[in-house]
Amino acid sequence: MSSSSSSTTHFLALATTYVVVLLLLHVPDYNAQLNSTFYSTTCPNVTSIVRSAVQQALQSDSRIGASLIRLHFHDCFVNGCDASILLDKNGTIQQSEKDAAPNTNSTRGFDVVDNIKTALENSCPGVVSCADLLALAAEASVSLSGGPSWNVLLGRRDSLTANQAGANTSIPSPLESLANITSKFSAVGLNTNDLVALSGAHTFGRAQCRTFNNRLYNFNSTGNPDPTLNSSYLTTLQQTCPQNGSATALANLDLSTPDAFDNNYFTNLQNNQGLLQSDQELFSTAGAATVSIVNSFSSNQSAFFESFARSMINMGNISPLVGTSGEIRLDCKNVNGG
């Protein structure tokens, strides 16, 4: 082989290697890009700042922990965990996710988010994203309520846009079938174990009558209540939510320990005392893969806690903006300069 052909072959090999490396660099590996020490030098007290603000909020509002974790959940299911749910309608944002059907007159805690952001800006101006704030607030809400702790992966950036249409179609509904909800989880890379574990967040918080009164009087146009609803629990719920009563009256998602993060939610399902249709279907859908997971979590709180923490990390990894994508919002309600 001549020296010229040898050098050409060598060049082609190098060029091919270079292209392969470039391709590998463009494979999104969010686990590698997010890490628990992202702010270790730029805002070392970020976790304690968020935790302190959540703890203060819990003192005056026992619901706020559940409300904050729900914001993270509803954020991640729409365009990934990018804090798009926090953007108000104004300026460049023509349609806010806050006004989507799953969120309007339902999601809450935005004032607490603003308080946390103010505390972070006072300590570390322009450093911590609103998307990471939501992930940290969710962990603090769970651990402060008796649930597990985990190392929150950080490094997300904030979106420049909102997606109201996506919020209307992508967020699971309490009135949906298990099959539909499973497919919505699958669409964002979450499996059946994630679905059951994350549903366990309904171990605390409240729900409005409009999210479950379909089960109380005329389930699926049968003229009768949902047959999977415990009869004495049904009577209690009918008192809370009378026919033609207030659609926004509240019931505890977990009738036994409404403000504690524990595994009683799963025991409630075994007793036909799940509040939402989407809760009870995890246990009452014959032959579903979810049933054995419910039984496992009901009998072993440690197994639930471990799975829940792992699934929260999985959910937090949904399509984050990293690197130079998006921005670090100075005000979580508005894009910078908007």
Measure the CA–CA gap between 85 and 91, rounded to whole angstroms: 16
Instruction: Tell whether 172 is in a known binding site.
Output: yes
Residue in this structure with the two tokens 């508005």, named with its chain if needed: 334
Instruction: Tell whether 279 is in a known binding site.
Output: no
Measure the CA–CA gap between 229 and 308, rounded to whole angstroms: 26
Q: H helices of 172-257, where? A: 178-187, 192-199, 231-240
Instruction: Tell whether 78 is in a known binding site.
Output: yes
Instruction: Tell whether 262 is in a known binding site.
Output: yes
> Is 26 designated active site?
no
Could you tell me which residues come within 8 angstroms of residue 188 by beta carbon, excluding any fewer than 6 positions away? 76, 77, 170, 315, 318, 319
What's the angle, vertex CA 264, arms to CA 257 and CA 310, rounded to 5? 115
Instruction: Tell whether 80 is in a known binding site.
Output: yes
Using only C-alpha atoms, the chain has a radius of gyration, in whole angstroms, of 23
Q: H helices of 45-177, where? A: 46-60, 64-76, 110-123, 130-143, 164-170
| Structural contact between residues 61 and 53, judged by C-beta atoms closer than 8 angstroms | no
Measure the CA–CA gap between 52 and 68, rounded to whole angstroms: 14
In the chain, the amino acid numbered 314 is N
Instruction: Tell whether 75 is in a known binding site.
Output: yes
Nearest one of 172, 159, 69, 162 to 112, comparing CA atoms: 69
Instruction: Tell whether 242 is in a known binding site.
Output: no
Q: Which position among 10, 26, 72, 74 bears the catalytic label?
A: 74
| Structural contact between residues 336 and 92, judged by C-beta atoms closer than 8 angstroms | no
The catalytic residue positions are: 74
Known binding-site positions for substrate = 172
Binding-site residue numbers are 75, 78, 80, 82, 84, 97, 172, 202-203, 254, 257, 262
Binding-site residue numbers for heme b are 202
Binding site, annotated residues for Ca(2+): 75, 78, 80, 82, 84, 97, 203, 254, 257, 262
